[in-house]
Amino acid sequence: MAGPIRNWLGAYGNKNLAEMVLPKYELAFNVYGNKLICSPSKPATTEDASTPEPEVGSFSVVLLVLQKDQQMKGKGRKPRKVVGVDPKTYGPVAVSMDATWAVFLQESFRAGIPKLQDVRQLRIDTFHWYFTKRDISLPLQTESNFSHAAMRLQSRKVNEEKLIYLEMQPPRQIQQREEEHLPWEPTSTTLSVAESGRASRQSPLFLDEDQSRVGRSEYRIREGFVCFEMSVELN
């Protein structure tokens, strides 16, 4: 391309004309003549503001809830034998690589284990993880354990699957309380005169016909959510 350009501009060394016609070319003059030599200039490098940020990777977790061994009745007079039960499997659950320990517990287990209402049901002190069954299981019970597992996952090769198995004991069950009083409230409290008067006005007392009118009798009064015992002098 430089040959036709030199022929067209001629050998006059018209730098102004060259700058107007070839703004994208860098000009250089031969010190021994008036020949115009053009060479392509390097394009200016500009930062593309629309360049997307690198995506944060993720890994998968398979949740294994261990089950108790079962005793099988032997045939005839043979003793009972213990048979292992396979763990219940949930997942896999996708977890972001930049997830924190708290987010890992909240998101992965709520999405993986059914009937899990609260993270406090989990027995975190029994968590152990491994890549494959032939590997030695490692604890996953603290934030530092989780950071170590994430570091091991990030260091895996591109063609290796980022998948871990997490074993645990069954979660604790939530017990529904049927008591009238709250679990942290005593079943019997001593009331002041003002409280006992207010309670008696809000919850009137009823006596049986054959109940003695002399002496002390105990009555159970329920005010709101608090149940307490109250002593009333009967005349």
199 in the same domain as 161: no
Residue 179 inside a domain? The answer is no
- The predicted pLDDT at position 166 comes to 93
Q: Is 99 within the bounds of a domain?
A: yes
Lowest-pLDDT choice from 89-93, 139-143, 228-232: 228-232
Same structural domain, 123 and 164: yes
CB neighbour list of residue 100: distance below 8 Å, 6 or more residues apart: 143
Between residues 41 and 167, the one the model is more confident about: 167
Tokens of 2: 């430089």
**Based on the domain organization, do 34 and 66 belong to the same domain?**
no
pLDDT of 82 higher than 70: yes
CATH number of the structural domain spanning residue 119? 3.10.20
* pLDDT tens sequence across 118-173: 888 889 999 999 998 888 899 999 999 999 999 999 888 877 888 999 999 988 88
**Looking at residue 50, what is its pLDDT?**
64
Indicate if 62 and 138 belong to the same structural domain: yes
Residues 153 and 213 in one domain: no
Q: Distance between CA 21 and CA 38 in Å, rounded? A: 12
Judge if 149 and 221 occupy the same domain.
no
Alpha carbons 21 and 30: distance in angstroms, whole number: 20
Total number of domains in the chain: 3
Q: Long-range CB contacts (< 8 A, 24+ apart) of 192-198?
A: 196/230
Average model confidence (pLDDT) for the chain?
Answer: 68
Residue ranges of the alpha helices (H) in the chain?
Answer: 2-9, 15-21, 101-103, 109-112, 143-154, 193-202
The answer to whether residues 36 and 63 belong to one domain is: no
Query: By residue range, what is the domain housing residue 117?
Result: 58-70+81-168
Whether 177 is in a domain gets the answer no
